[in-house]
Amino acid sequence: SQTIHQWPATLVQPVGSPLSLECTVEGTSNPNLYWYRQAAGRGLQLLFYSVGIGQISSEVPQNLSASRPQDRQFILSSKKLLLSDSSFYLCAWRRSGNSPLHFGNGTRLTVT
């Protein structure tokens, strides 16, 4: 069976510090990978998606970036965090076609 791992579960970072959130998927090959953000009381916002190694599409321009160095690894980064980056970040994967998204457990990021 397929599993998705996302870490850390919680993170407190000062303004201006860098960020690296990691996500890996097991039990499948060539998954479509996604990073979403969910602010309190708001819907899920798609940040980045990737259909293959090194292929990253950005949906919302901001101070975040994503990379896919390996087939089943997806990384969300920032060089300098802003207070407004505080949110719940979710990694997700799915197969191609009409298959549903499957989410990791999420990372709650607080920027202080």
Partner 1 sequence: GQNIDQPTEMTATEGAIVQINCTYQTSGFNGLFWYQQHAGEAPTFLSYNVLDGLEEKGRFSSFLSRSKGYSYLLLKELQMKDSASYLCAVRDRSGAGSYQLTFGKGTKLSVIP
Enumerate binding residues for partner 1 (CB under 8 A): 41-44, 46, 49, 51, 57, 59, 90, 98, 100-106, 108
Residue 56 CB partners (closer than 8 Å, separation 6+): 48, 49, 50, 65, 66, 67, 68
By beta-carbon proximity to partner 1, the closer residue of 18 and 27 is: 27
By beta-carbon proximity to partner 1, the closer residue of 19 and 91 is: 91
Tell the smallest beta-carbon distance from residue 100 to partner 1 (Å).
Answer: 4
- Give yes or no for a contact between 66 and 76, defined as CB atoms under 8 angstroms apart: yes
